Structure 1
């Protein structure tokens, strides 16, 4: 059989963190990418500069600049960030996708983004998820290369599968593992609340009580992946989404005195509360996944009984015998204007009893 020499169509260059920063095609056209955290913000294609405007996770507009010419396009997206249309002056560019993201190969001039707000490769049209980690092929509906987390890790048994065969309800911004859209939006809401936390509270990051607290260890770490997967599946049945407490009004969720809730608190003063009833009630380590800091310094139950907020140290995952870790949480609540109390004889109870009065 005759052998044909392979033709290199494009060279891809990565930084030390494995982020795609430059692509050089065979015709020597160079594309350079610049990021803010994990999001693409600016792209240079030869002499053309494209700048992306976004608020939190929402794509708003893109601006192309070349020499003395500047053109701005407004973007319309769906809840997964897929570009549905882009408009500039009287020009309107519309986009239609198959469930796995294939769209017409016609040249779209008004935006560089496509399916799920991802950037298609200029040579292949495939989506380089994880900022260049893996190429997703929307025609074959699978990845071109295997996942490093497969087959024994969270990547699943099939290293080439995309979106866990559910591209309508799941997204995969990292290229490693598909995430429920609802869960991803909840996590993004938590992250977007962090700047407000810094403005609306005393800087607890400098609080000696927090910094000197010993982080709690998850005694069921081997079950964490299964617990996260279970939560992602159950949360679809019930909008049981945990909440980060940043201001006094957030504690209105405790108004029902017949309920109690789980909480975790980190060394960065992140208090996250989740319901214990309904579908998808998250274990304490799942609540901890919503926090920016990995250091949980208090975990237990919280509820309102009478006119008092009651806290406990009850947790199977983070349990520490004969040790009260609620002090930093009480200080945090006091700063919000709430006096909290410790549940008496907490070993005799499961959660905060309905009949309990502080």
Structure 2
């Protein structure tokens, strides 16, 4: 199951305790009512006076009034209400933060020290500018609120900083202190950048199927380095495993790969010049490349994407097909 916060876990346990205690109290109340009826009938048969029964009831009422007994379900419900009456379980601490490091990265480091800029955001300044130009007009960065959003370049820098670090360095605490932002703001910036990058229009701008001229150039490259008979095999496919930070909450074991890591299987189709023209992502790392390959675009529409005598080159993990050539298996 997905990981729960301390508040969520406490709320879940208290809710279960309330339900169980309420059920037990109702059962006991029903049993007490039945016992009281049987005792009344027995006392009537045995000659016990009604005055004695009423005195016992009055004595029990006095005990309850003196001790002010509360059912366990009400006590549990009171604790549950207190839990949800406050936003924070612990007293908030004021942590001094500054945005100077973020500003320094986007100004001085970007212009004068590109190596330092790359060490923080893991991409070159020119690549950062190109990515910013592509996503800055996305609707996710614009709203009708009176409060303006943080500048898009800062949001992109925060997301890239998280993407480029691992372990404790990618934690909300470290990223928030580096960027001078709140924890929620860091998460919000990351989500917006991911939404903008995954937009269909952005993807179409980044990646497109090669033109007839580009395909011919790829064929000439293959022919020059191999032979004329192989020139129609102009695209290449290969799979890679992208390690995950932690075991996923849903079906975690299926993400455990042959290299003893939790990972995601990614299929990459490229030209000889290493330009990526298609990809497949989302399957767990335990999936074989041949199975992951079937979920990509080419196996499902090879008649539309490839010519009659064209094929894709793959390694021994891929099946031999008319449109997919791999080394012969022994």
- Same fold, TM exceeding 0.5? no
TM-score by length of 1: 0.24
Instruction: Name the structure with the higher strand share.
Output: 1
Structure with greater Cα Rg: 2
Instruction: Name the structure with the higher helix share.
Output: 2
Which fold has the larger relative contact order, with Cα–Cα distance below 8 Å and residues 6 or more apart in sequence? 2
